[in-house]
Amino acid sequence: MTLCLRTTRSLIASLAVLVLPTARAAQAQQPGIAAYRAAADSLIHAATADSSAYRRLGLMVDTFGHRLSGSASLEAAIDWILDSMKADGLENVRGQRVMVPRWVRGDESAELVKPRRAKLAMLGLGMSVGTPKAGITAPVLVVGSLDELKERASEAKGKIVLLDVPFTDYVATRKVRTDGPSAAARVGAVACLIRSVASNSIRSPHTGMTRYDSTAAKIPAAALSVEDAAMLHRFQDRGQPIVLTLRMGARTLPDAPSRNVVAEIVGREKPDEVVVVGGHIDSWDVGQGAMDDGGGAVGAWEAVRLMQRLNLRPRRTVRVVLWTNEENGGAGARAYADSQAALVGKHVLAIESDNGVFNPKGFVLASSDSTAAVVQQVAGLLQAINATGVQRVTESPAADITPLAEQGVPTMELDVDGSRYFWYHHSEGDMLDKLDPAEMARCVAAMAVMAYVVADLPEPLPHATN
Amino acid sequence: MTLCLRTTRSLIASLAVLVLPTARAAQAQQPGIAAYRAAADSLIHAATADSSAYRRLGLMVDTFGHRLSGSASLEAAIDWILDSMKADGLENVRGQRVMVPRWVRGDESAELVKPRRAKLAMLGLGMSVGTPKAGITAPVLVVGSLDELKERASEAKGKIVLLDVPFTDYVATRKVRTDGPSAAARVGAVACLIRSVASNSIRSPHTGMTRYDSTAAKIPAAALSVEDAAMLHRFQDRGQPIVLTLRMGARTLPDAPSRNVVAEIVGREKPDEVVVVGGHIDSWDVGQGAMDDGGGAVGAWEAVRLMQRLNLRPRRTVRVVLWTNEENGGAGARAYADSQAALVGKHVLAIESDNGVFNPKGFVLASSDSTAAVVQQVAGLLQAINATGVQRVTESPAADITPLAEQGVPTMELDVDGSRYFWYHHSEGDMLDKLDPAEMARCVAAMAVMAYVVADLPEPLPHATN
């Protein structure tokens, strides 16, 4: 459905008298929110009329590839985005300088030595230390959980510990990746391997950040493919001694300069009040980082570009923020929140897309009840793309907006079909073809409508939780 | 359900007077076939009572790894199988000598040079020639089909041709892999890449045999991952010139000796009449060849071992044949058929499992109507494991039994859930964890019941088609 913009804008103007101070008042506003339907439909139509978001994402990831913090490809991609945003006509386009960790993978390999020689599929974990040049050759102890590691602590000394823990959900299984290496070091292991945190595998290892506990020795840490972890576990179950050689050239260089990308449509009435919409521009150094989180970053940018193209300038400022260094540090998110410390009360809402721009279902929201009531009504405008769901959570739903949530800003993440996300996450398989142009277009539509309408409401969403 | 073997055998004995000379007679025999229920149930029960087939497969593929023709690992696996079959108490256990091609992959890589430097995920195609040591660096022409290659023949000279053809079904898409390189050579290409023949990808290239046409130059041929093929196609669609360097150390050495594995339960009444049940023991040189076709080979072996363990000695001989060199030549299948040329009329049925031992649905059969009528009744005994389907085809359903089919032997393949087969086929992902112990056990049950009952029928299945 094509909508006349003039009609849309006059409908919006007629809403200027509405006030939404409390939950009760918000609930009473349904007819008011409904008056945004024309604007919402025009955004949905513009987003879904073609594959421009997907094409732009493809151009970015094909041109620059993956974008690890501290890499030349990340900074080149940021330069290109800044130039493109200016060409799009966005306002206050700028790079916000941030110092980021610079971890470098180097050459790496894992070779089975006993019971037979074979190359294993592995990826070092982000922020891991390396091995000596000759590698570490040691017997392997396989355990099925962090608890089993504690029970078998006396067997771990001098060994390479493999944590072969099946994927359940990300938050639970990620703990093995973040905490496993230091847990292994504390019981005397010389290196730590984990089963990749992944819900599918074609012998595809999945990297991700590990975190060394300051009380334990830093030992090299890597992910094996699900297949290789299972094979080693079977060797052990049969009583066959396992020996392997792990070689990792990983090292951490001095911090490097990077940038958050920031651009705006300045609010027509309350330019100092802000709705943030974004994703993160950095990725791991495998695949193309198309799903995590090229799609979220370009999708947020496209959402704001569409408003600009349709001359939809809301009452408040809509600010797209593409954070740097989400994957291995979070320096971009902290830098943005720190820079806004005095202005955080003016942040009406922060939206992130960081679950892949798969088919959108709605939003996951951390906010007060009164804010949720309004958001639910706004999401109702997304019926045409079936993305009206609003799921409430108590903690910030996405990493880059957590520092804002901690200061009371309502935060939300785009909620999408997550069935295939952990097939590709942090692996070489995270490339453009995993995303679908029409699904990505609907994600853009959902972010655009939510950001625009919340930015244009006569009264700001209430801050603080409940 | 546990069955008393004594009862089973006396039920079978009571069937000795049955005669099944024609389709009409066969159709009349339903009560006769039904009398095999006790034997069938005992085989099903024994097969599904534990995970012994899966454990044996795991021991084989973990111990020996993949098993390409001409490799030490294939011959070591064959030695182990022969020894194990003797220990199982199978009869006439022997290795049938076969000379097989010896293709060696060597080191290989594909590196994108323009529009940017990046390593691509590739696997050389089986039987490909190599490149000069420095590799071949050339511009790339991407085409979407063999037809488009013909249309754009004038653009191919001096280029590396990439056939980026989406997977539809295996027979159709495989043609690109087998015929593409010579088609590209004929229009002047210096090397040929194909999009992997695969229905899923986590940047996982899939190898497989290519076939050079004697009228065309032999040019190096490799598969790119689906992701990389798509990326190169996008570069071309954007008008960005593509250059890449292909390096392949592939070479074909003189033929090497290998063996078909043959073992029997000799028939108690008609030992010269034979039911063959088998799979192929060789694999590609990636992953473990667990799905293709370690599971089929070990499954067929287990089916016969169960008969032996249950003292189910049929009227005719049941012969397990584990063919060598299915993947890159078919020398094992030809050698077996040649050795049986004078005895092929005594082959009552040949069964192969080569679609992965996934959940069994029944059988795919190439035979006369009269044979099909009997087979359908036998399949009816598999109701307990829901594997009663009999799908008719006009050509031999599996590669290793084709030389027998060509001489009039009824042939059948175990029919299984094929939904994930081409996710892992010919890739590093073909490892044990892709199979399920309970599904494999049901495959063993299906093969055991079909082979046993057909081998025991009072009259042999009719030969020749219709």
Determine the distance in angstroms separating the CA of B202 from the nearest CA of chain A, rounded to an integer: 4
Answer yes or no: do A227 and B200 touch at CB < 8 A.
no
The dihedrals phi and psi of A251, each to the nearest 5 degrees, come to -155, 155
B118: contact with A, CB 8 A cutoff: yes
Residue of A nearest to B232 (CA): A62
Q: Which residues in chain B are closer than 8 Å to A424, comparing Cβ atoms? A: 202
Q: Does B287 lie at the interface with A, CB-CB under 8 angstroms? A: yes
Minimal CA separation from A203 to chain B, in Å: 5
Q: What is the pLDDT of residue A460?
A: 87
- Residues in B closer than 8 angstroms to A114, CB to CB, are none
Which residue in this structure is represented by tokens 């191919």? B156
Partner-chain contact B63 A115, CB within 8 Å: yes
First to last CA, chain A: 38
ipTM associated with this complex: 0.92
Summarize pLDDT for B382-397 with one digit per residue, the tens.
999 999 999 999 999 9
Suggest the residue from B73, B116, B199, B227 to mutate for an interface test with chain A (most A CBs closer than 10 A). Answer: B227
What is the average pLDDT score of chain A? 93
Q: Please indicate if any CB of chain A lies within 8 Å of the CB of B62.
A: yes
User: Do B415 and B365 contact (CB within 8 A), yes or no?
Assistant: no
Lowest mean pLDDT among A3-7, A134-138, A273-277: A3-7
Of B284, B422, B433, B435, which to mutate for an interface test with A (greatest number of A Cβ within 10 Å)?
Answer: B433
Convert the pLDDT of each residue in B210-234 to its tens digit: 999 999 999 999 999 999 999 999 9
The residues of B that are catalytic are: 326
The tens digit of pLDDT for each residue in B301-341 reads 999 999 999 999 999 999 999 999 999 999 999 999 999 99
The pTM score is 0.93
Measured between CA atoms, the residue of chain B closest to residue A228 is B431
Residue A142 — pLDDT band, cuts 50, 70, 90?
very high
Q: What is the pLDDT of residue B220?
A: 98
What string of H, E and C letters represents the secondary structure of B25-38? HHHHCHHHHHCCHH
Cβ <8 Å between B230 and A65: no
Of A65, A227, A429, nearest to B431 by CB-CB distance is: A227
**Do the Cβ atoms of A444 and A299 come closer than 8 Å?**
yes
Amino acid identity of residue B389, one-letter, is G
Instruction: Count Cβ atoms within 10 A of the Cβ of residue A389 and give its class: 0-12 exposed, 13-18 middle, 19 or more buried.
Output: middle
CA-nearest of B118, B120, B110 to B250 is: B110
Please answer yes or no on whether A431 and B202 come within 8 Å at the CB atom.
no
Q: Give residue-wise pLDDT tens across range A395-441.
A: 999 999 999 999 999 999 999 999 999 999 999 999 999 999 999 99
Closest CA–CA distance from residue A62 to any residue of chain B (Å): 7
Per-residue pLDDT, averaged over A265-275, amounts to 98
Residue in B59, B115, B227 nearest the CB of A431? B227
Q: What is the C-alpha separation between B394 and B161, in angstroms, rounded?
A: 36
Query: Does position B357 have pLDDT exceeding 80, yes or no?
Result: yes
Check CB contact under 8 Å for A204 and B204. Answer: yes
Name which residue leads in pLDDT, A281 or A19. A281
Peptide bond preceding B83: is omega within 30 degrees of 0, i.e. cis? no
Residue A342 has pLDDT above 50, yes or no: yes
Q: Which domains does chain B have, with CATH numbers?
A: 5-101+255-456 (3.40.630.10), 106-249 (3.50.30.30)
- Rounded to a whole number of angstroms, the CA Rg of chain B reads 24
Over its C-alpha atoms, chain A yields an Rg (Å, rounded) of 24
Smallest CA–CA separation between A213 and chain B, in Å?
32
- Which amino acid appears at position B444 of this protein? V
* Cis check: omega of the bond before A115, within 30 degrees of 0: yes
Region A286-302: mean pLDDT is 98
Instruction: Provide the residue type at A370 as one letter.
Output: S
- B431 and A118 within 8 Å at the Cβ level: the answer is no
**Is residue B107's pLDDT more than 70?**
yes
- Burial status of residue A260 (CB atoms within 10 A of its CB: 0-12, 13-18, 19 or more): buried
Question: Which residue out of B203, B234, B427 would a mutagenesis test of the A interface target, given it has the greatest number of A Cβ atoms within 10 Å?
Answer: B203
**CA distances (Å), origin A109, targets A113, A118, A211:** 12, 11, 21
Q: pLDDT value at position B337?
A: 98
Query: Is A382:A362 a contact under the CB 8 Å cutoff?
Result: yes
Q: What mean pLDDT value characterizes chain B? A: 93
CA distance B135 to chain A (A): 22
Tell me how far apart the terminal alpha carbons of chain B are, to the nearest angstrom.
38
Q: Which residue of B lies nearest to A58 if distances are taken between CA atoms?
A: B234
Distances in whole angstroms, Cα of residue B390 to Cα of each of A181, B166, B415, B440: 53, 30, 8, 19
A58 inside 8 A of chain B by CB: yes
B-chain residues within 8 Å CB-CB of A427?
202-203
pLDDT digits (tens, 9 = 90+) for B48-74: 999 999 999 999 999 999 999 999 999
- What pairs with residue B324 in β-bridges? none
Helix (H/G/I), strand (E/B), else coil: A160:
strand
Residue B275: the pLDDT is 98
More confident site: A276 or B461: A276
Q: Is the pLDDT of residue A40 over 50?
A: yes
Is A121 near chain B, with CB under 8 Å? Answer: yes
Mean pLDDT, range A43-70, rounded to an integer: 98
Question: Which of A39-53, A304-318, B30-44, B103-117 comes out lowest in average pLDDT?
Answer: B30-44
Q: Are A57 and A295 in contact (CB under 8 A)?
A: yes
Cα–Cα dist B188/A17, whole Å: 72
Is residue A43 within 8 A of residue A312, CB to CB? The reply is: yes
* Residue B428 contacts A, CB cutoff 8 Å: yes
Asked if A223 is an interface residue toward chain B (Cβ–Cβ < 8 A), one would say no
| Residue A9 banded pLDDT, cuts 50, 70, 90 | very low
- What local confidence, expressed as pLDDT, does residue A275 receive? 98
Amino acid at A449: V
Q: How far apart are CA B362 and CA B354, in angstroms?
A: 13
Question: Which stretch of A168-177, B28-37, B86-95 has the lowest confidence by average pLDDT?
Answer: B28-37
pLDDT digits (tens, 9 = 90+) for A81-124: 999 999 999 999 999 999 999 999 999 999 999 999 999 999 99
Of the pLDDT bands very low, low, confident and very high (cuts 50, 70, 90), residue B464 is low
Rounded distance between C-alpha atoms, residue B174 and residue B210, angstroms: 9
Number of H helices, E strands in chain A: 15, 16
Q: How far is CA A45 from CA A38, A40, A382, B245, B356, in A?
A: 10, 8, 11, 44, 46
pLDDT of residue B30: 40
Q: Is the confidence at residue A257, as pLDDT, over 90?
A: yes
The minimum CA-CA distance between B409 and chain A, rounded to whole Å, is 38
